[in-house]
Structures are given as structure tokens and as C-alpha cells.
Structure 1
Amino acid sequence: MSDLRTETFTSFDGTELALHRHGEGPPFVLLHGLFSSVEMNWIKWGHHLAIAARGYEVLMLDFRVHGDSAAPHEPEKYPKNVLVRDVAALVEHLGLGDYDLGGFSLGARTTLHAVAHGVLEPQRIVVGGMGTAGLGEWDKRAAFFRRVIDEFDAIPKGDPAYFSMQFLKSQGVDRTAARLLLDTMPDLDLALLDRVTMPALVVCGDEDRDNGSAEELAGLLPNADFVEVPGTHMSSVTKPDIGLAIAEWLGDPA
């Protein structure tokens, strides 16, 4: 099995994005959560190893404003659903035909937006740490993060936003770019989930309610399996169970 390797590519608008690759075999495009990174969600805890061990090449994109990717400040670099367009640019750049696609939290909602709007047509999808509220009521969650950014240094200990502020600080998030990015993410009409007809895994922590009901989301998808793993929204991705659940669901390549 090949070692982890990192490269960059140019997205649709000239923004340079980082791609981390591991393993050999059929491609599985894997997306991280909001204000996190490939390193924080997938590499640090060895999830990429568990998936690659089943015989896949794990293609992990750092979203713009995250990880090793660029964080432009120009407003024109932030059209509606820009992250969906970045993933589409990656698929085009690599010339992917048959591939699987998935993600955690923001990566999961980006996956569902891409498929529901007909932008991408993966063979299978993985939806981690996401429920119905994180799709249909996203603007409420985005408003929380706008406040974190706008009141950053003034948020006191004990405030519900304090932990999120500390996390953004630990990740070195560019707040100007992050503020622009938040305004690109629309709610998803849950009726569009009828279009997501490929096999899907909805996997979520048993204490994770940050984005509403993952089980309800699985019920709205035409062809979904639902798996619970230990943890909250923040802790579930730090435990081995989620990577192992994804790897087991994907199974050995045909």
C-alpha cells in the first residue's frame, strides 16, 4: 500500500486546493467537517488507513479556507455552493468515472447537495455526522458560526460559543475567508433527497444531535443504511469506530 501523499490542483476559479491521497484501488473521495481539515478528521485518527486497507484509494480534499488549501479574501471567490463546485472540479481534475463519495458534517452536507442537485453521480455515498436539521435548517447553524467569528475575542468562558471559538483558533482558521464561506451554504430542500437513489451509509455518533436526527435522514434517503457509533459530534470522529464502520460498509471492491 502506498504512503500518504499530498498534491495541489487548481479549482474552477483558480483557487489552489490541497488533495491528500492514500492507498490503491477504486477511488473514494472523502470530505471533512466545517473549520476542520483532512488532518484533523481523517488522518490523525487513522480512518484513512482503515478504509485504504479494504482496497481503496482514499482521496481527501481540504476544502477552501481549510487545512492546506487557499483561503482567498475576494468575495467573488465565494459563489453559492462553492464547495460543491470544488468537489466537482476535483472529480474532473482526476478524471474520475466510477467512484464513491462521502464526508463528515460539512463534508456530508456537501455530498448530499452535490448529488441532490445532480452535480455529481457517485456510485455510493457516506453521510457522517449529519441529520435533517443540518440540511433543512442549516442557516440557523451558520448563524451560530457567524457569531463566533464576529464576536471572536469577546466570547466569555461558559458561553456556548466559547468552545467553537477555541476550536477555530486551534485550527488557525482565516476568519475573513471563513465569514465569506458561511454565506455560500444554502439550506437543502429535504424533498430533493428523493433524488439520492444510490446506496448510502448514514453514520452518526450515538450522542450526536448537533445536526438533528441522522436516523430520520436515513429514512428519507431511498436506499440508506443507518449505523450508530460511539460519541458526540466532536468526539465520534476521534474514535476508531467511524472509520471502521465506513470501511466495513464499503466492503471489498468488486
Structure 2
Amino acid sequence: MPSFHHGAVEIAYLDEGEGEPIILIHGFASSKNVNWVYPGWMAELTKNGRRAIALDLRGHGDSGKLYDPAEYGIGTMAGDITALMDHLNIRRADMMGYSLGARITGWLAYRQPERLRSAIFGGLGIGLIKGGGPGENVATALDAPSLDDVTDPVGRTFRAFADQTRSDRKPLAACLRGSRELMTEQQAAAIRVPALIAVGSKDEIAGSADQLGKVIPGSQVLHIPNRDHMRAVGDKVYKTGVLEFLLRRP
């Protein structure tokens, strides 16, 4: 598996297919495999003539593990993305993030729009601005001795997911505590790259896709029917909507 070093942190990634590049950024407590390989995204994108590049965020998957929340700021993790692009000699790319990955995508779309051809916000609506989703309750659940010790329902969901994927829970808790930065409405309204907001209709974590669509000028909204936050990522409607968006965007 290819990897590179950004400073002291080793970042693992996949680079498959030929054509216009799209960078895939997974969600919190997930990985490139869980978000993008197993649900068929890598195969779908490469089949449709795209160069698909997926990385493991720091603290996740096969990338380096850090235990200080200060090492997991949104801007710091966004720097890993642009460092990967530089490593692969990619000046601009489409970018799709899911949940935490969408927060990172939003950070780059606002602060370094010259690196993005488009921004796809998967599993994140107005929560980009208003917050919500996993917080200290989830970090506490990750720190608990076992799942049986967790009573908070959201905490149990993420702890069970981390256990299922055999993740190192300590860096995940540090990541959660260090990456809670939100965008302001003014910052989101300043995003000018073509944007798609794709959220499951039963997603209680992401916040309203329609509300975020009203903030980001010219953005498109895709409702993924009957899917919650965990099950939307591999949905056919999501894949079809993204492929159509990529064909239409300037």
C-alpha cells in the first residue's frame, strides 16, 4: 500500500484509475476501505473514467496515530490532503468528503479554492455551521473500558463501529476532541466552487442538507432516501447523483 510522510506523520492512500482526479476523504472513526473501497466507490469511479484517490486520515486506518488533540485540527488535517495532492503532482481535483471528511472539504473549499474543481459534502448538511453529531459523549464512549460501560446512544453507535473496525480508540478520541471547529455562515456563503450536498433522509447527525444548500451559493442538494448517517455512504442514489454532478460541473 502506498504512503508518504507529511512532516512526522505517515499517510496511507490508494490511487487507482485514470482520468480526472477525485480525492476521497472518509468520515470520523472510518477509513479509506470502510468508506470508499468496501461500498464500491473506488470501483464505480474508476469504471466511469475517474482517477480515484482515497487516504486514511491521521489517527485512522493505516495512517500514523497521534494522541494529542492539538494534532487534529481541521486545518492540520486539510494540510494532509494538499500534501497528498502535491506528492501526486495534482494541482486541482474534485473532492468528496463524508461527515468529518466533508468538514475538511469545506475548509479547503473556503481557504484554498484553487485546489478544488468541486466540493461534495457527503453526510453533512447545516451541521457544518451549527454543529451536532459526535461530541464529548462519543469521545467518552471511546475511552470507556468496554461497550457495556457506554449508555449514551450516540456514543454506543460510534463505539460499536470503532470496535467493529478494530480501530485504535485513543487516537480517535483525540481526533474528535481536536476537530470540532465549525465554519461560520459567512465562510460557507463565500464558497464559490461547484458544490453538491448529499445527505440521507433519515440522517439525524448531518443536519439539514436544504439549509446548507441555501447558504452555499449555487450548490445542489441530493437527498438519499431512507438512509441514516451510517448507511447512506454506499447507496446507489448517492453514487448516481455524484457521477451526474461530476459530469455537469464546469
Structure 1 length-normalised TM: 0.88
- Shift of residue 238, structure 1, vs aligned partner: 3.1
* AA in 1 matched with 2:200: G
User: C-alpha separation between the residues in 1 aligned to 2:36 and 2:72?
Assistant: 25
Dislocated runs of 4+, deviation >6 Å = none
Match of residue 16 from structure 2: 22
User: C-alpha separation between the residues in 2 aligned to 1:33 and 1:83?
Assistant: 12
2:43 maps to 1:49: yes
RMSD over equivalenced CA pairs, Å: 2.3
2:243 maps to 1:247: yes
Match of residue 218 from structure 2: 223
Match of residue 64 from structure 1: 58
Among 165, 172, 177, the alignment partner of 1:178 is 172
**Closer, same or farther: CA 142–157 of 1 in aligned 2, 3 Å:** closer
Equivalent residue of 2:116, what SS? coil
Pairing 1:155-174 to 2, within 5 Å after superposition:
155-156=148-149, 159-160=152-153, 161-174=155-168
Among 149, 153, 163, the alignment partner of 2:146 is 153
- Shift of residue 252, structure 1, vs aligned partner: 7.9
Structure 2 spans left out of the alignment, 5+ residues: none
Equivalent residue of 1:123, what SS? strand
2:231 maps to 1:235: yes
Pairing 1:105-184 to 2, within 5 Å after superposition:
105-118=99-112, 121-137=115-131, 141-153=134-146, 155-156=148-149, 159-160=152-153, 161-184=155-178
* AA in 1 matched with 2:197: V
Query: Identity of aligned pairs, percent?
Result: 26
User: C-alpha separation between the residues in 1 aligned to 2:158 and 2:125?
Assistant: 20
Q: Is the 8 A contact 1:64 1:71 kept in 2?
A: yes
- Shift of residue 76, structure 1, vs aligned partner: 6.4
Q: Is the 8 A contact 1:19 1:61 kept in 2?
A: yes
Moved more, 147-156 or 22-31: 147-156
Moved more, 238-247 or 112-121: 112-121
2:176 maps to 1:192: no
C-alpha distance after superposition, 1:56-101 (max 9, x if no partner): 1011111011111121336664456321111121122122123111
* AA in 1 matched with 2:44: A
* AA in 2 matched with 1:88: T
Q: Is the 8 A contact 2:40 2:234 kept in 1?
A: no
Equivalent residue of 1:58, what SS? strand
Structure 2 length-normalised TM: 0.89
C-alpha distance after superposition, 1:114-152 (max 9, x if no partner): 2223376301111111011244325x7322322212335
